[in-house]
Chain A
């Protein structure tokens, strides 16, 4: 009496603020990114959720106006554990520089993450975006004056919200599987996402280390059914 292949396909996209202000915490963030996928896999296994395939993609973001072509750097999905070494090299290679003014283009990074090539294989899935930033965000489109600003970007926060909330209206994330985990300050865009978007957990710091109990809380929220 077996169930029909109830294994999980887990995709994660890590968005990392790589501007100069992150210099003092970037090593910690990179280590957290490298640990997180293993911890999520272990937590799901502990709950008898067997992972058939896990993939991770990395997006390093800065500021389109200040940082030119280095404003948005993204990888393809790495299949883990097979490509763990390449993934590690990719994360380790991120350096903190640039950024210009205080806000960064975190919303554009989030838009890229939402439009990732998410897996639709398998019966049960997790589509997880993790964002690390120590800064508030520019409004979407702030960097439009830069020639390297992408075509087809969400034009404002409302459109980005539709991309998140509705698979039919621009997003490609499975509505049951998606989770957004934000490590960022209590700044306007992050707090608005936290209060208005579904399936979000917002840890209101990127610079403080989490207590074990807080880290377990986050893992439980991401891994459990809600």
Chain B
């Protein structure tokens, strides 16, 4: 944990959790990343990994690699710079994942092959951030969002086969269209956004945001726990407790606050949004519990502010 950043992972089976995260405060920027080992694709177990799955190792490998790599990076000033950053991380991923697979991922016994078996598959989402800009790099459905006085804004587009609508994907098990693994060259997406102070950058694996019935409820979870907290450590504890109560899958959140002198200043700036959110999007949908069409209607309204992937927001 750095002074204004925190993260946690909650695993369904604690000894086999397939999520991972890393935080680092570098000289000129903050770095955070989360990863979610793909349990279906990476279900093979390896003797050299104490019989852990490839998914278990992959998420840890990705976050460890990115943590080390981030020390020598900075927040890019342009989209071209972001693409360059992306390419360097892809190369680092390819090098490390292949070397790790060669060394640790040997098996004997019955050959099990097919498109549902990959070596070291994991989603990945990272943020390099300073007070003005954030650059997000990702593969898969781990997400980056910005929480500011106007609400929560998703900045990454989930890599899914078919629709990546954040509401609809809550109700489907849509396969991933991109992820990191040792079998194929890494392909990351990059996106830079300008930040308005104060704000928090939030990274989440699908276990954290998929546990809630609508994307609006995920914002409400952040604001409810923020409201009940006196400092970063308290927010972290309350978030972790809330996520543990609802998550049905391994879940990871990483949060970093920017542009506020104190935690209280951040709270004061962000919390007025909670009332609007509750009135417009939470209470009406909860009142019509189970009416998915009504929830979908409200989502379309909410989405105009939430979805920063639909518009150009250059950092």
Contacts and interface: CB of A to CB of B under 8 A. Distances in A.
A1 B53 contact: no
B41 A221 contact: yes
A226 B41 CA distance: 6
B43 interface: yes
Interface string A179-223: 100100010000100110111111111001011011011111111
B227 interface: no
Given A224-B43, A225-B39, A217 B173 contact: no
Contacts of B187: none
B111 interface: yes
Interface string A12-35: 000000000000000000000000
B249 interface: yes
Contact of B249 (A1, A2, A48, A200): A48
Contacts of A222: 40
A220 B113 contact: no
A41 interface: no
B114 A217 contact: no
Contacts of B161: 175-176
Contacts of A4: 171, 213, 290, 292, 295
B246 A1 contact: yes
Contacts of B113: 191, 194-195, 201-202, 204
A4 B51 CA distance: 36
A3 B212 contact: yes
Contact of B53 (A177, A208, A220): A220
B244 interface: no
A155 B27 CA distance: 64
Given A204-B111, A224-B39, A2 B12 contact: no
Contacts, number: 120
Interface residues of B, number: 40
Interface size grouping (class) on chain A? 35 or more
B112 A217 contact: yes
Contacts of A204: 110-113
Contact of A214 (B112, B116, B172): B112
Contacts of B88: none
B137 to A, nearest CB: 22
A144 to B, nearest CB: 29
B217 interface: yes
Contacts of A210: 110
A194 B40 contact: no
Most B CB within 10 A of own CB, among A195, A203, A223, A226: A226
B298 interface: no
Interface string B103-125: 00000011111111100000000
Contacts of B109: 211, 214
Given A221-B116, A223-B40, A213 B111 contact: no
A200 B115 contact: yes
B175 interface: yes
B162 A3 contact: no
Contact of A203 (B112, B173, B246, B290): B112
A123 interface: yes
A47 interface: yes
Most A CB within 10 A of own CB, among B43, B44, B176, B212: B43
B34 interface: no
B175 A199 contact: yes
B86 interface: no
B38 interface: yes
Most A CB within 10 A of own CB, among B40, B248, B295: B40
B224 to A, nearest CB: 10
A6 interface: yes
B50 to A, nearest CB: 12
Given A123-B171, A175-B161, A224-B40, A5 B115 contact: no
Contacts of A203: 110-112
Contacts of A224: 38-40, 43
Interface of B: 12, 38-41, 43-45, 51, 53, 109-117, 161-162, 170-176, 211-213, 217, 246, 248-249, 286, 289-290, 292, 295
10 contacts: A4-B171, A47-B249, A123-B172, A176-B175, A202-B112, A204-B113, A208-B110, A216-B45, A218-B43, A221-B117
